[in-house]
Structure 1
Amino acid sequence: MKKRRVVGASVLSLVMGVSMFATGAFGQQPNSQDESFRVIIQGPTADKSQAKKNVGVRWDFGADGFTTTVNSKQYQALLKNNNLTIEKVEEVQLAPNKEAAAKPGGSTNSGPSDRTPWGIQAIYNDAAIQATSGGNGIKVAVLDTGANTSHADLTNQVEQCKDFTQTKSPLIDGSCSDGNGHGTHVAGTVLADGGSTGQGIYGVAPEADLWAYKVLNNRGSGYSDDIASAIRMAADEATRTGSKVIISMSLGSSAKDTLISSAVDYAYGKGVLVVAAAGNDGPSSNTIGYPGALVNAVAVAALEDVQQNGTYRVADFSSRGNPNTDGDYIIQERDVEVSAPGRAIESTWNDGSYNTISGTSMATPHVSGLAAKIWAENPAMSHTQLRKELQDRAKLYDIKGGTGAATGDDYASGFGFPRVR
């Protein structure tokens, strides 16, 4: 079981027009006692208990083991216990040239160029829409680079703000600062409310509540154990507060991670709907990333504002699923489920202004917001009924444009584009 550090569908490029799922090199074992690294430790209860006393605990996953940060001397000491299995929680780094090329363009400080951008108009199926509504009482946990909770278009919706990325403390409540911009942008597409001045931008469901969970650092990368813990916490908070919760994850990796997979199953089992980006490694087939590729996550592909064959077109950068399952309308692992606007999406930015960026990261919050709007209107629905409703609405607007898109369920666009009406 190899643990990998997961990178968001994350640092975006206006030049390239896409965000990238990075695939960099693993970190190396420290050469001195002063260097440290993350590990997951598994084994018999008694041995784990002693190890916890010796090296401490960051996250405890029960039967799946616990994670901690150790130096080289501690690591070597742990290896002497043959009853323990110790794996590094590996790190995936953004390739430096991609990171440099992926800096977003300038923000607009005078206000958004359009208070209801094309993605909002498309998902509402209304080119003349001036404002959005809905989502009241639904909690959307955005697991990302954090959020600017003081942004005029978001501040009224913030209910929780947590940071899972700090090294000295696994969880800081009340902190979720976004030094990247990606998380603020995603949150805005879900639920921006137009701002108190009436000059701001709108998201899909402006009455929903934001749970801003910072699981990626300001470079757009994060450890899988932190992400898994945030998923589990959102699920536990759903139970504790008696809330209907949607987890929105515009992040991913090409490899399946056991901790994250288990956490998604845990959340789904608690009645939480999980929505995740398909990735940005298209247009070839079988390029979908995880956790979007998991059966218990709704994988979202990206559409662009271009008409082809009478429908919107799937962007070339959008990752594709498995063509062998085309036409079955059954979600299996590595299947794209639905599509939504993802190219040239304007939304809130971390400096209090607005920015236009692209990626399946941007498509995902459109679907998360739509799910919140539908759930608020139909509170008796279970999360599985809500998911079916998304699928049924997607079938009403089949996507036939873009590589791999075809009539019916296909590996590029999934069931289609779900909309408000």
Structure 2
Amino acid sequence: MTKLWLYRQFLIFLVLVIAVFNTARAVEYIKGELLVKFKDDSVKNINGLIKGFDGNVERKVQLLNGNLYLVKFDQKSDMKQIASQLAKASEIEYAEPNYIWRIDEPVDQGIINDQLFGDELNLGYLPSDPQFNILWGLHNTGKNDPTGMVGVAGADINALKAWDLTTGSRAVRIAIIDTGIDYNHPDLKNNMWENTAEKNGKPGVDDDQNGFVDDIHGYDFANKDGDPMDGHGHGTHCSGTIGAIHNNNQGVAGVMDQVELVGLKFLTDSGSGSTLDAVEAINYATKLNVDVMSNSWGGGPYSQALFDVIKVASEAGIIFVAAAGNASSNNDDASQYPASYEVENVIAVASHTIADNLSSFSCYGKKSVEVAAPGSNIYSTVKGGGYATYSGTSMATPHVAGALGLMISHTGRLVHNEMRERVLLTSNYVKSYKNKTVTGGRLDVYNLITDTRPPRPWEPGENDWVTVPLNKPFESIHPYTDGMEVERTITIPNAKMIRLKFNRFETEAKYDYVEFSGKDGVVVSKLSGIKVGVVHSDEVLGDTIKLKFVSDISISFWGFMAEEAEVIYNIPE
């Protein structure tokens, strides 16, 4: 073994250690707090059990699926270690840190091109709201992005056609689980849910006896009071996309003209919140029997407490729409919670641009992200009665929440498997989203309401592929060197589709990659990072696949090796 090889192996080890450290550091939780669920709530000596670990029960939270306990420890204690030790006790179902969650931070706040405000559209039903003309997500003219970006006409959610069927209903209730809502905003206030018992009752009294005082428009779980006023702006922006009132000569129009918006604030005015507060917000929404929950937040790890409460909402027939995340990563490989929870009511949403491309920041996943929706340069309501342009999967999520609300106003609730099937199969297939969402589609609310299912390209099953040995393996040197750029073209006569099968693939994630394109040179996908076991490239149409390996000038890994291609020779008509 050469010194160079040993040095490179040490660098690989170092990179992996740093990656693990950074991942662990990214998982934040409230110091000194654990969430504990007991298998049997009749356990009498709860405090005694916890004190054995030098803890004290701070609070018992009554949920629809049983009680959850907030347990306090010394803030210097290792919460993960204590949780692991507690979980070994036979009386305990699970114990976990009280993780910290954050808004899916808007990627940018675009500068408005004022020249667009004066344009008029001559169509059928059009809201008279003065800034409707720049809501490209609802009606994309190809030139009405609020920042002036050029787009593709028609790459929108098809709202105008849907509004000929329904503009919503006050009978539909959507919970915005976020930083709260500016419930006094002139574009939102008439669509706010009102708890009439509390509104007409006595201040400081739980008039409806639901356990929450003065919860007129929702509740603030971050500050433990009945006022979910948004001090950040993020929740109000999401709310405006869902339900800004039409034809009131104010600002913008939402996907729904009529809806009841419930403000459930668990994220503070700085944009962060805890698992326990999120759990309580979801539990509140479930007890209220909302139709849809809109969730534009994430950043925490897998939480059993959060999974359980979302599952209870699912069993109650409530849809849970969640932002896929803004990490530009594949959720199939690295989960983004809550969007990645495998519960049948969860709909994960990616973001697309006015140009009908996946937004550069958007997470994606062929197996884990259901649909793409408008999320770049979205103009909507913000706190203080204002308006602003944000970008993020946070902005895409309320488009889907509002679309599902419109569907429910027209058809009523559907069981989750029917609802999910509609979301997937009524979306419009666009090549840009192939292998980025489950069916390669973006949201179409008219199709969703009418259950119109556009044609989709045939997708081969695993048994349809025919293995073809390569005349010469496609592989790097092991380990590869810095600054490499290697190209190769493989042609297999009569092939209709080709993909490459890698026996081993190890490159520096994001920076060193293999690029795949067809005969036309258009890049279909890239493959990067350390993969476990056999991995396939995305398929390329035609009889030719072009390969390009690029490495930067930093860390070099083992590389890759492919000895076989897999081919489809016949595509059904």
Compute the TM-score of the two structures, normalised by the length of structure 1. 0.72
Q: Which moved more, 1:350-359 or 1:60-69?
A: 60-69
- Partner residue, 1:12: none
In the aligned structure 2, how far is the partner of 1:22 from the partner of 1:350?
34
| Deviation readout 1:391-417 (Å, 9 max, x if unpaired) | 2311xx11211xxx32xxx33464512
Gaps of 5+ in 2: 1-22, 118-128, 140-155, 194-216, 447-573
> CA separation of 1:58/1:150 partners in 2, compared to 1, >3 Å: closer, same or farther?
farther
- Partner residue, 2:473: none
- Partner residue, 2:364: 320
Aligned residues: 354
1:147 Cα offset (Å): 0.8
1:369 Cα offset (Å): 0.3
- Partner residue, 2:70: 67
Aligned partner of 2:286 among 235, 240, 247: 235
In the aligned structure 2, how far is the partner of 1:205 from the partner of 1:272?
18
| Deviation readout 1:223-262 (Å, 9 max, x if unpaired) | 0111112112211111xxxxx5101101112522111111
- Partner residue, 1:216: 267
| Deviation readout 1:100-125 (Å, 9 max, x if unpaired) | x9674679999964456001112125
Aligned partner of 1:117 among 135, 143, 151: 135
In the aligned structure 2, how far is the partner of 1:186 from the partner of 1:367?
11
Instruction: Please say if 1:255 is aligned against 2:295.
Output: no
In the aligned structure 2, how far is the partner of 1:267 from the partner of 1:363?
22
> CA separation of 1:252/1:55 partners in 2, compared to 1, >3 Å: closer, same or farther?
same
Instruction: Please say if 1:38 is aligned against 2:33.
Output: yes
- Partner residue, 1:7: none
Q: Secondary structure at the match of 1:264?
A: helix
Conserved? CA contact 1:107–1:353, under 8 Å: no
| Deviation readout 1:272-307 (Å, 9 max, x if unpaired) | 11111111111446345111112321001101000x
Conserved? CA contact 1:278–1:288, under 8 Å: no
Aligned partner of 1:272 among 315, 318, 326: 318
Conserved? CA contact 1:23–1:92, under 8 Å: no
Aligned partner of 1:47 among 30, 45, 48: 45
How big is the alpha-carbon RMSD for the aligned residues of Structure 1 and Structure 2?
3.9
Aligned partner of 1:142 among 168, 171, 176: 176
Conserved? CA contact 1:191–1:202, under 8 Å: yes
> CA separation of 1:413/1:206 partners in 2, compared to 1, >3 Å: closer, same or farther?
farther
Q: Which moved more, 1:79-88 or 1:204-213?
A: 79-88
- Partner residue, 1:194: 246
Conserved? CA contact 2:100–2:300, under 8 Å: no
Conserved? CA contact 2:326–2:361, under 8 Å: yes
Map 1:397-408 to 2 at 5 A: 397-401=428-432, 405-406=433-434
In the aligned structure 1, how far is the partner of 2:158 from the partner of 2:46?
52
Compute the TM-score of the two structures, normalised by the length of structure 2. 0.54
1:39 Cα offset (Å): 2.1
Determine which structure has greater relative contact order: mean sequence separation of CA pairs < 8 Å that are 6+ residues apart, divided by chain length. 1
Task: Write the letter of the residue equivalent to 2:443.
Answer: P
- Partner residue, 1:298: 347
Map 1:77-92 to 2 at 5 A: 87-91=96-100
1:179 Cα offset (Å): 1.4
In the aligned structure 1, how far is the partner of 2:312 from the partner of 2:175?
15
- Partner residue, 1:164: 221
Task: Write the letter of the residue equivalent to 1:191.
Answer: G
Conserved? CA contact 2:27–2:301, under 8 Å: no
> CA separation of 1:305/1:74 partners in 2, compared to 1, >3 Å: closer, same or farther?
closer
Q: Secondary structure at the match of 1:275?
A: strand
In the aligned structure 2, how far is the partner of 1:40 from the partner of 1:185?
31
Identity %, equivalent residues: 27
Instruction: Please say if 1:418 is aligned against 2:418.
Output: no
- Partner residue, 2:409: 376
The structure number with the bigger radius of gyration is 2
> CA separation of 1:69/1:106 partners in 2, compared to 1, >3 Å: closer, same or farther?
farther
In terms of fraction of residues, the more strand-rich structure is 2
Conserved? CA contact 2:107–2:392, under 8 Å: no
1:317 Cα offset (Å): 1.1
